[in-house]
Amino acid sequence: MNYRFKIEEKISETLADFKILLPRYVELKNNERMSHLFFSRNRNPLWDLSGNKIFKTGLKSSKLITEGGVPVHDHLIQRTKAMKIIFQRLELNPTMTYEDFTKLLLSVGSTVLLTKKEHALVTSYSNKHDVFNYEVYELLGIEINGLSKFLEDKTF
């Protein structure tokens, strides 16, 4: 049977799943190695959700606009790092509402469009340094008009 789920249902179910996983996060949060494994292992729901159009900011790198090429969606915050933020917030507010969870997801799960080459550079740099992807753009000279304004009201 082919089931089609609305984004609201997916977000609601993800929140329910994460609330169930919260005790495991609390158990592991002070063990850097195991908490990283936990975040990495549980990041796929964020990937599934962020493919929806509400997570696409519409922002593009200047190079993609001027030169074209294959556009690649890049998460402003890597999914593993985003999971850490999500679980930290859930621990502070274990009865988080759907609305608050959705705002949090949009804050940590949104994407911008880069060229394939820019995406590879960002990924390579991010893998070697403890920074968020959106911080790497400036470091590598990747210009994204409107990004600063988008980030203004976000608190990570």
The amino acid that residue 92 corresponds to is L
Q: What was the pLDDT predicted at 153? A: 75
**Domain-embedded: residue 147:** yes
**Domain-embedded: residue 66:** yes
Q: What was the pLDDT predicted at 28? A: 96
- C-alpha–C-alpha distance, residues 1 and 15, integer Å: 25
Can you give the pTM of this predicted structure?
Answer: 0.89
What's the total number of domains in the chain?
1
**Domain-embedded: residue 33:** yes
Q: What was the pLDDT predicted at 48? A: 82
Q: What was the pLDDT predicted at 108? A: 92
3-state SS assignment for residue 70:
coil
Q: What was the pLDDT predicted at 155? A: 66
**Domain-embedded: residue 2:** no
Per-residue pLDDT of the chain (156 residues; tens, 9 = 90+): 667 788 899 999 999 999 999 999 999 999 999 999 999 999 888 878 877 888 999 999 999 999 998 999 999 999 999 999 999 999 999 999 999 999 999 999 999 999 999 999 999 999 999 999 999 999 999 999 999 999 987 766
**Domain-embedded: residue 1:** no
Sequence-ordered strand ranges (E) for the chain: 56-60, 71-75, 111-115
Give residues with Cβ within 8 angstroms of 133, minimum separation 6.
Answer: 74, 75, 76, 77, 78, 122, 126
Q: What was the pLDDT predicted at 131? A: 96
Residue 126 domain boundaries: 7-152
